[in-house]
Amino acid sequence: MNTYRITCRETVYFVKEVKANSEDEANEKLFANVNGFEDVEEWVEEWEISETQTKQDQIKYWVDLPPRTNTRKK
């Protein structure tokens, strides 16, 4: 029996409550710190399977690259 790794993608909707003096200010506050506000409601609208591989195939082609730091600028 094989083990499969299935990558899924979902569309999640959530509602936050933001106290502000205007709609623009509320949007700015939310963009600045979306996780800093309480979730009022959350739901998954749809999801789909985007890729299926056997676990062995995924491990075989995995490349462990070092982080790209201290790179020379052109």
* CA 6/CA 53 separation, integer angstroms: 7
Residue ranges making up the domain that contains 49:
4-60
Residue 72 located in a structural domain: no
Question: What's residue 60's pLDDT?
Answer: 60
Which pLDDT tens digit goes with each residue over 9-68? 999 999 999 999 999 999 999 999 999 999 999 999 999 999 998 877 666 665 566 666
Residue 74 located in a structural domain: no
Residue 32 located in a structural domain: yes
The pair of structure tokens assigned to 66 is 């070092």
Count how many domains the chain has: 1
CA distances from 13 to 3, 43, 54 (A): 31, 5, 31
Residue 69 located in a structural domain: no
pTM: 0.58
3-state secondary structure of 47: strand
Question: What's residue 73's pLDDT?
Answer: 59
Residue 28 located in a structural domain: yes
Residue 39 located in a structural domain: yes
Residue 25 located in a structural domain: yes
